[in-house]
């Protein structure tokens, strides 16, 4: 059993109570995690505030960038250990988690390069007696609430730009996958960051997150997770007038036209929904296939889905591991059972392939319409709904017929169609002849019920900065106090 602690200021804190993190593959506990009290949360916010108003807040952008680069080096050195912690926490493939961790330092290096390039601007005030300029300043203390599917990657979407901007952070990891984030916090002292810049509070109780986002000492809330929880987080933040960045769910369409490279498109459909066992917000869970190639695409995808290797996520040959925790598995099973009972055709999957435990086979559901529950609700599992369309206009209408708007994929060789269709799709990200790729330089986020605000890119940095307008009277003359201007 691995023991991990919270980081609160300069203190490694074990907590007065603990809970266990369960390995989804073995079903056995593997780590002991602290349960934060309200006092712990208060102390963490106070530590973040002290750092923001102290040494960290006084630091230049160049100095912050230097520390971010050192943190990137330490993450590289610790990548194997951090990746294994994520696999043991959430059951995702070690090869995927290893790839994420090896790529993670690039995020910190990218934002290290932006830390000393936060410029303001001089403004023509329209008056000869005033000089005006706008400065950009760090928003302050950030509360970050994380999901369980890719804890460190999704934390980094928030943490790297927040640090570059000059903010401090208190992070609350998911109770399902807390260990890697608590381990990351140990690297900050080694990197030379002042105490309190990055703090962690963990807990199996929902109260821990509620205490944090509703804390009056928090200046900005950044959340990744479900639509329902995101709505509650936004309301709690609004209670003390803190703005929020919300990256929520998705029901993304992967759209295939007849002129596409059908082998590549089929592979893209598989990658979009069965990678990470479908436990990803960007999952391409709706396959919109032109009627002329529907049967061929269905056959190709079903054949590959049936051959996906399931098993121990630590083994290199495994292509799909278990579902993260029992409640999520039960949710997936419920959606598939309801679809079957309503007359949908289960082409492949719909069971555990005899593996038991938390396994659920790659599942394809055909003969459904877009108003079906499995086409409208985020399942967050390896379940692909396949729908037909007849023309480009219908494809756009079906793709947009969702309360979500996170992402979409388009498979076609017609570049004119690409420009037409990307303009019509109400989503935050469109992949063309590809699916499920992200980068530190490209903004990421959704519209509609998929949330608001952007992560990554220079847009991600903007979330943690606020503009300040400065007016400087230049003549020394006395003004009429009763006249505006």
> Do 150 and 46 fall into the same domain?
yes
| Each residue's pLDDT tens digit, 124-142 | 999 999 999 999 999 999 9
Torsion of CA 121, 126, 127, 133, to 10 degrees: -10
pLDDT at 459: 98
Query: Do the domain assignments include residue 437?
Result: no
Please state, for a pLDDT cut of 70, what percent of the chain lies above it: 100
CB 36: neighbour CB atoms within 10 A? 28
> Do 225 and 328 fall into the same domain?
no
Q: How confident is the model at residue 367 (pLDDT cuts 50, 70, 90)?
A: confident
Active site (catalytic) residues: 247, 281
pTM: predicted TM-score of the whole model, two decimal places: 0.97
pLDDT at 158: 98
Distance from C-alpha of 169 to C-alpha of 199, rounded to nearest angstrom = 6
Query: Do the domain assignments include residue 354?
Result: yes
3-state DSSP call for residue 472? strand
Distance from C-alpha of 390 to C-alpha of 294, rounded to nearest angstrom = 10
Helices 61-90 and 151-165: angle between axes, nearest 10 degrees: 170
Distance from C-alpha of 334 to C-alpha of 360, rounded to nearest angstrom = 12
Query: Do the domain assignments include residue 476?
Result: no
Report the number of distinct structural domains present in the chain: 2
CB 250 within 8 A of CB 284: no
Evaluate if residue 213 carries a pLDDT over 90: yes
- Mean pLDDT on 60-80: 98
3-state DSSP call for residue 222? strand
Backbone angles phi and psi of 265, in degrees to 5 = -65, -45
Q: How confident is the model at residue 400 (pLDDT cuts 50, 70, 90)?
A: very high
Average pLDDT in the chain? 97
Query: Domain boundary residue among 432, 461, 479?
Result: 432
Any idea what the CATH number is for the domain that residue 30 is in?
Answer: 3.40.605.10
Helices 61-90 and 105-114: angle between axes, nearest 10 degrees: 160
Torsion of CA 333, 179, 145, 455, to 10 degrees: -90
Evaluate if residue 265 carries a pLDDT over 90: yes
Torsion of CA 86, 409, 285, 288, to 10 degrees: -170
| Each residue's pLDDT tens digit, 305-362 | 999 999 999 999 999 999 999 999 999 999 999 999 999 999 999 999 999 999 999 9
> Do 257 and 242 fall into the same domain?
no
DSSP assignment of 371-409 equals TSHHHHS---SSEEEEEEESSHHHHHHHHH-SSEESEEE
Burial of 444-475, coded b for 16+ CB within 10 Å and e otherwise, reads bbbebbbbbbbbbbeebbbbbbeeeeeeeeee
pLDDT at 199: 98
> Do 129 and 71 fall into the same domain?
yes
Query: Do the domain assignments include residue 310?
Result: yes
The residue written with tokens 């307008």 in the block is 469
pLDDT at 9: 98
462: domain range? 2-248+450-470
> Do 258 and 239 fall into the same domain?
no
> Do 168 and 88 fall into the same domain?
yes
Please state, for a pLDDT cut of 90, what percent of the chain lies above it: 99
Distance from C-alpha of 396 to C-alpha of 374, rounded to nearest angstrom = 19
CB 239: neighbour CB atoms within 10 A? 11
CA distances from 55 to 43, 165, 166 (A): 18, 14, 11
CB 263: neighbour CB atoms within 10 A? 10
> Do 237 and 261 fall into the same domain?
no
Query: Do the domain assignments include residue 443?
Result: no
Secondary structure letter of residue 218 according to DSSP: -
pLDDT at 485: 78
Query: Do the domain assignments include residue 94?
Result: yes
The residue written with tokens 């807390």 in the block is 178
> Do 212 and 299 fall into the same domain?
no
> Do 163 and 15 fall into the same domain?
yes
Evaluate if residue 82 carries a pLDDT over 90: yes
What is the number of residues in the chain? Answer: 485
**Nearest to 261, CA basis, from 272, 249, 269:** 269
Distance from C-alpha of 485 to C-alpha of 184, rounded to nearest angstrom = 51
- Element at 53 (helix H, strand E): helix 38-53
Distance from C-alpha of 87 to C-alpha of 259, rounded to nearest angstrom = 39
Both tokens assigned to 412:
């076609």
- Mean pLDDT on 475-485: 91
> Do 331 and 311 fall into the same domain?
yes
> Do 95 and 62 fall into the same domain?
yes
pLDDT at 147: 98
CA distances from 397 to 163, 204, 367 (A): 40, 41, 18
pLDDT at 295: 98
Query: Do the domain assignments include residue 441?
Result: no
> Do 23 and 120 fall into the same domain?
yes
Any idea what the CATH number is for the domain that residue 376 is in?
Answer: 3.40.309.10
Displacement of CA 122 from its chain's centroid (Å): 35
CB 7 within 8 A of CB 200: yes
What's the N-to-C CA distance of the chain in angstroms?
67
Query: Domain boundary residue among 386, 406, 432?
Result: 432
3-state DSSP call for residue 178? coil
pLDDT at 455: 98
Distance from C-alpha of 64 to C-alpha of 70, rounded to nearest angstrom = 10
CB 39: neighbour CB atoms within 10 A? 11
Distance from C-alpha of 298 to C-alpha of 269, rounded to nearest angstrom = 10
Secondary structure letter of residue 455 according to DSSP: B
Query: Do the domain assignments include residue 479?
Result: no
CA distances from 130 to 122, 325, 472 (A): 11, 61, 5
Evaluate if residue 454 carries a pLDDT over 90: yes
Secondary structure letter of residue 193 according to DSSP: P
């Amino acid at each position: 059993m691995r023991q991990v602690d919270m980081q609160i200021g300069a203190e490694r804190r074990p907590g007065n109570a603990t809970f266990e993190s369960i390995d989804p593959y073995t079903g056995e506990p593997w780590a002991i995690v602290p349960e934060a009290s309200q006092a712990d949360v208060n102390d963490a916010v106070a530590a973040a505030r002290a750092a923001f108003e102290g040494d960290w807040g006084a630091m230049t952008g160049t100095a912050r960038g230097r520390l971010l680069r050192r943190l990137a080096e330490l993450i590289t050195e610790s990548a194997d250990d951090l990746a294994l912690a994520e696999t043991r926490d959430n059951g995702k493939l070690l090869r995927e988690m290893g790839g994420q961790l090896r790529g993670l330092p690039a995020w910190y290096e990218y934002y290290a390069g932006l830390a000393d390039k936060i410029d303001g601007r001089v403004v023509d005030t329209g008056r000869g007696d005033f000089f005006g300029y706008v400065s950009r300043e760090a928003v302050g203390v950030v509360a970050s609430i994380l999901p369980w599917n890719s804890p460190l990657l999704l934390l980094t979407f928030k943490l790297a730009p927040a640090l570059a901007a000059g903010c401090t952070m208190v992070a609350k990891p998911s109770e399902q996958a807390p260990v890697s984030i608590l381990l990351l916090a140990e690297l900050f002292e080694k990197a030379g960051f002042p105490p309190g810049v990055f703090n962690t509070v963990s807990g199996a109780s929902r109260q821990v997150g509620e205490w944090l986002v509703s804390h009056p000492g928090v200046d900005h809330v950044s959340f990744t997770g479900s639509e329902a929880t995101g709505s509650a987080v936004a309301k709690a933040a609004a209670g003390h007038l803190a703005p929020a960045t919300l990256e929520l769910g998705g029901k993304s369409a992967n759209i295939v036209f007849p002129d596409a490279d059908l082998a590549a498109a089929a592979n893209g459909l598989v990658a979009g929904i069965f990678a990470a066992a479908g436990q990803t917000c960007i999952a391409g869970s709706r396959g919109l296939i032109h009627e002329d190639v529907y049967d061929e695409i269905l056959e190709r995808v079903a054949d590959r889905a049936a051959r996906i290797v399931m098993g121990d996520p630590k083994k290199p040959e495994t292509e799909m591991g278990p579902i993260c925790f029992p409640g999520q598995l039960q949710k997936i099973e419920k959606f598939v059972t309801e679809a079957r009972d309503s007359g949908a055709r289960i082409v492949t999957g719909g069971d555990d392939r005899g593996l038991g435990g938390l396994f659920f086979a790659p599942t394809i559901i055909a003969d459904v319409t877009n108003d079906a529950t499995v086409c409208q609700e985020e399942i967050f599992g390896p379940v692909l709904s396949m729908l037909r369309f007849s023309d480009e206009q219908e494809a756009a209408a079906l793709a947009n017929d969702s309360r979500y708007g996170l992402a979409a994929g388009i498979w076609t060789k017609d570049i004119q169609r690409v420009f037409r269709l990307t303009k019509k799709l109400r989503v935050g990200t469109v992949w063309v002849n590809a699916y499920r790729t992200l980068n530190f330089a490209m903004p990421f986020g959704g519209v509609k019920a998929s949330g608001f605000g952007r992560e990554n890119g220079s847009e991600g940095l903007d979330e943690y900065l606020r503009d300040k307008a400065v007016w400087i009277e230049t003549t020394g003359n006395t003004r009429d106090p009763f006249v505006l201007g």
